[in-house]
Amino acid sequence: MIHKFKVKTAASNEMAEITREVQGIAREAGFEDGICHVFVPHTTCGLAINENADPDVKRDIIAKLDDAISEDFDYRHGEGNSPAHIKSALVGSSLAVFVEEGALQLGTWQGLYLCEYDGPREREVWVKLMKG
Amino acid sequence: MIHKFKVKTAASNEMAEITREVQGIAREAGFEDGICHVFVPHTTCGLAINENADPDVKRDIIAKLDDAISEDFDYRHGEGNSPAHIKSALVGSSLAVFVEEGALQLGTWQGLYLCEYDGPREREVWVKLMKG
Amino acid sequence: MIHKFKVKTAASNEMAEITREVQGIAREAGFEDGICHVFVPHTTCGLAINENADPDVKRDIIAKLDDAISEDFDYRHGEGNSPAHIKSALVGSSLAVFVEEGALQLGTWQGLYLCEYDGPREREVWVKLMKG
């Protein structure tokens, strides 16, 4: 079974936290122990784990990725969103988070993020729970 | 059990689609539901999920990665393929894809790719199926 | 159950091999077949698979990442370690390695590495074993 939820992003590039939504799915399913796999069925956004405290970290990740994978390049893809596809390949489309006693096991400063590179859009996030 | 197949790449840098091969392994194994893990036992190629429609997307990913991780740098590794190792660390060596009713669950535009960074070569791809 | 061990890094940026430690955990647990998931609960270090032979490969990965995600940028995060957060998002915080007959299944040249981007520090590595 795959659990799905939607995320509306508000900018062309954005890191939208989804920790609470993913934790909620595990809790509602009564999932106690194992791996919580998260996946996005898109090629111009991705998933990452990063700091959940200072919002400037998200801003810096987005800004530096924009700088490293700049729009100013001889791209051929006609839709004009090649940087988004490249960021998606680099950052990745999936996460695997440990679960114990029903709780996602994350470090103190870690949150789960949907990384939008070609928004604003409505995105889908898929979750699959694998018992340990 | 690990299922293995080979991919012959034709260029120094290339994205070779392997969706059909991976789906075929799951089908032949009668695998219905769970996670399909994919892995490459190499340090100068990788695995990524990206667009399967316009081939220009693959071309742009390869070209921009070449630009960002350029050969023009003070590398010390004697084999001259340091950019390939770096791309491998960035893009990653494994994928985890959801399977339901025997079918890989991917977005409309998603395909699985072996990313060659130091070809042409014959590469191995490993698949392990974990029941849900 | 999550198995945990610590790694002391010695430099600001470093790739510390952890293959033996992870293999040791699988062996002590009597784990025969499945997936060995590895995770770091930190946002300024990561995990990667790469070459275990020539140490210059590690040096080149670190040096080129430093060059591509340079400190010389208009970052806002006050702690001054934004490049470490960005490398963490790019390289990733987890690995999934196949296990058969009690042995991690890796290519000849592959090793598992904790990638330090903001050291020296003491880091934790978490391992969860999922039966096949």
pLDDT in tens, B21-78: 999 999 999 999 999 999 999 999 999 999 999 999 999 999 999 999 999 999 999 9
Contact across the interface for B126 and C108, Cβ inside 8 Å: no
The closest CB to that of A64, out of C79, C86, C93, belongs to: C86
pLDDT of residue C6: 98
pLDDT tens string B12-30:
999 999 999 999 999 999 9
- CA distances (Å), B118 to each of B50, B84, B121, C61, in order? 20, 6, 8, 15
Residue percentage of chain A with pLDDT more than 70: 100
Contact across the interface for C91 and B90, Cβ inside 8 Å: yes
> Chain B contacts of C57, Cβ < 8 Å?
43, 77, 82, 85
Which of the four pLDDT bands, split at 50, 70 and 90, describes residue B102? very high
C59 touches chain B (CB under 8 A): yes
The residue with tokens 């921009």 is: B64
pLDDT tens string C13-49:
999 999 999 999 999 999 999 999 999 999 999 999 9
ipTM over cut 0.85 = yes
The residue with tokens 């740098």 is: B73
Contact across the interface for B90 and C90, Cβ inside 8 Å: yes
**Dihedral of the CA atoms A59, C39, B82, A73 (nearest 10)?**
-30
Helices (H) and strands (E) in chain C, counts: 3, 8
- Structural domain range at position C43: 3-131
Contact across the interface for C43 and A61, Cβ inside 8 Å: no
> Chain C contacts of A92, Cβ < 8 Å?
92
Residue percentage of chain B with pLDDT more than 70: 100
Contact across the interface for B126 and C98, Cβ inside 8 Å: yes
> What is chain C's Cα-based Rg?
15
As for how many domains chain B has, the answer is 1
pLDDT tens string A119-128:
999 999 999 9
pLDDT of residue A100: 98
Which of the four pLDDT bands, split at 50, 70 and 90, describes residue C84? very high
pLDDT of residue C109: 97
Q: How far is C40 from chain A (nearest CA, A)?
A: 8
A49 touches chain B (CB under 8 A): no
Residue of chain C whose alpha carbon sits nearest to that of B86: C61
DSSP C20-82: HHHHHHHHHTT--SEEEEEE---SSEEEEEEESS-HHHHHHHHHHHHHHT-S-S----TTS-H
The closest CB to that of C77, out of A49, A56, A108, belongs to: A56
Count CB neighbours of A50 within 10 A. 22
What is the average pLDDT value for chain C, to the nearest integer?
97
Count CB neighbours of B111 within 10 A. 20
pLDDT of residue B27: 98
For an interface test with C, the pick among B39, B79, B87, B123 (most C C-beta atoms closer than 10 Å) comes out as B39
Q: What is the CATH number of the domain that holds C88?
A: 2.60.120.460
Contact across the interface for B64 and A82, Cβ inside 8 Å: yes
CB pairs under 8 A between A and C: 91
pLDDT of residue C46: 98
Q: How far is A13 from chain C (nearest CA, A)?
A: 15
Check: pTM over 0.90? Answer yes or no.
yes
B130 touches chain A (CB under 8 A): yes
pLDDT of residue A87: 98
pLDDT of residue A96: 98
pLDDT of residue B23: 98
The residue with tokens 């103190």 is: A108
The closest CB to that of C109, out of B39, B43, B77, belongs to: B43
C16 touches chain B (CB under 8 A): no
Which of the four pLDDT bands, split at 50, 70 and 90, describes residue A27? very high
Which of the four pLDDT bands, split at 50, 70 and 90, describes residue C98? very high
Tokens of C98: 């196949």
Tokens of B49: 């999920």
Nearest Cα neighbor of C2 from C32, C36, C30 is C36
Tokens of B19: 């969706």
Tokens of B79: 């084999």
